[in-house]
Amino acid sequence: MSYHLIDIVQKLEHPRLLVLGDLILDRYIWGNAERISQEAPVILLHEERQEVRLGGAANVANLLRGLEAEVTMAGVVGDDIDANQMIEHLEKAGVDCSLLEKDSSRPTTVKERYIGRAQHRHPHQMLRVDREVRTPISGTVEEQFIQKIKSTIENYQAVLISDYAKGVCTPKVLKATIQAARNAGIPVIVDPASTGDCQHYRGATAITPNRLETSRATGQEVESEEMAFQAGRKLCEKLDLEYAFVTLDSDGIALVMKDGSANMYPTRKREVYDITGAGDMVLAMIGVAVAAGVNPPDLAKLANIAGGLEVEQIGVVIISREEILADLLTAGRSIDDKISSLETISHHMQARRNLGQKIVFTNGCFDVLHWGHVSYLQQAADEGDCLVVAVNSDSSVKKLNKAPNRPVFSEDERARMLAALEAIDYVLVFSEETPHAALEQIRPDLLVKGGTYGKEEIVGWEYVESYGGSVKALGIIEGLSSTSVIDRIQSTEEIENPIKSNNVMAPGNNFNMTDRKAG
C-alpha cells in the first residue's frame, strides 16, 4: 500500500457533507432463550437488555462523523417515538438534523431483531420484525423536502445518496438534488438501491453498486474482473457518470472511468466476521475523501481499507481515521514505499505519534550489508514501534574519509537492500556528514547505534536528549564490519587468483564485487 495515502488521510480536514436517503432505526432485544413455551412450540426469550443503533442513511451519517466530517442528514421519518429516538442518536453523534422532514402518514422505518443465547453460548438472531412502508413520500412532503435541499446545497462539499428503496429517494427528489449539486459543482456519490433500477441516478458523479446490484442494473453477470469492467462502462454510459465503483466484496473494487479506462484495486486478505455495514463504510470513506478533492484511484484504495476494517468487526462499528492510519502504517509496505524523503517521513512520524507509537532512529553507511548489520537492526526494531534508518549518500561516505574503494555499493543499492528487511519501516538517504538535519525533523524517541560506543560518541545524542529522547548503544557481533568483510573477500581473492586479485585491489583501482569467484 502506497505511503502517499497516509498523507491524504492526514490532510482530509473536516469537510461538510449532505447525506440524503432512507433512515432506519435498528433495535436489538437481547436475551436468554430459556425454554419452550407451554402455550405453543416456540422458544421463550427472557429479555435482558435492548440496544438501538442507526441504520441505512443514518448509519452513513454516523460513520461520517467517525471520520471527522461535518454532516447534515436529509430524509423523511414518521412523526413518532422512533423518529424522536433516531434524531436523539443522530444529534448525540453531532449530526445536523435540520433537513429531516416528519411525515405523520408513515412510520419511521424500524428493524427489530431478537437475539437469543442458550446456556450462555454465542448469541444468534431468532427473529426480525420490520416496521416500514415502501411507498413514495407524498407530493406535498416531497416538494417541501426538495426546497429544503436546494436552499442549502451550496453549503456542502459533497452529497451522498444512500437509497434503501423505502420511499424517500423518489425520481423527483433525486433529479432535483443531483441537478442542484451539479450546478454548484458539488460531487454526488450514490449507493444505489438493491432493486437494480438506477436510471434516476443519471448525472451523479459516481455510484457504488455491489456485485448483485451491478448485475441487476446492467442485466449481465459480474463473475470476473473483465465482466466488472464491462458492467462499469455500461453504467457510466447509461447514467452519464464520471466514474463507477463496482464493489466486489473480498475481490476489491473495480474502478471504471467515463472514458472507458478501468483498473482493479484488490483488497488485502482479512478475517471477515460480519459484512453488515461494509457498503455504508465504503460510501462514507469515498464521501469524505471526494470532498477533499482526492482522485478516483485513491478513493478506491481508501474505500477498500475502510470497508476491510469494517468487516473485521461484529456488527456496524465506527471506523476512525486513526484506525485507517494504523492500517496503512502497518500493512503492505513495499521497498519503494519504505525509501522516502525526509519531508514525507516527518509527516508520517506525526501520524505515528498520534497513535502512541515509539520511534527509533539509527544511521550509518551500511556498505556491504552483513549479519552484524541485520542483527543490530533487528535489535533496534525491537526497541520501539517504528524504525527509521538514515543512510549516508555516496558523497557523504567519501567525506567520512572511508577507503578510496568505498562505498562498494551505491546509495540506491544500499537503500534498497535495507528496505528489503522486514524490521525497517523507513529508509532515508542523506548527504550531510552528520544526521542532525534528519534528527531535527524526525525527533525520534530513541537514537541507537550498533557498536561499543559511549553515549557521547553517538552523533546527535545531545540534540535527542534536549527534547527528552533517549540514546542507546546496541550490541555487535565481534569480527563483523563492512571493512572486515571486504578484507575477507580480498584475502579469498588473493589465495584463489593472486594475479586477478592484485589487479582488482591495486592502489587506485575500484573494488568490483562481480570479480569475486564463488565460494
Q: Which residue has the cell 471527522?
A: 68
* Rounded alpha-carbon distances, angstroms, from residue 402 to 238, 367, 396, 397, 406: 67, 11, 10, 6, 6
DSSP string across 145-188: HHHHHHHHGGG-SEEEEE--SSSSS-HHHHHHHHHHHHHTT--E
* Nearest-angstrom CA–CA distance, 387 and 329: 12
> Of all helices (H) and strands (E), which one includes residue 292?
none
Give the closest residue to 69 by CA, choosing from 288, 282, 277, 351: 288
Q: Is 370 within 8 Å of 480 (Cβ atoms)?
A: yes
Cell numbers that stand for 74 in this block? 436529509
C-alpha closest to that of 161 among 192, 186, 132: 192
Residues 482 and 365 sit within 8 Å (Cβ to Cβ): yes
* Closest to 26 (Cα-Cα) out of 171, 131, 166, 147: 131
Catalytic site residue from 22, 280, 425, 445:
280
Look up 259 and say whether it is catalytic.
no
Bridging pattern class, strands 470-474 and 446-450? parallel
Residues constituting the chain: 519
Which residues does the annotation mark as catalytic? 280
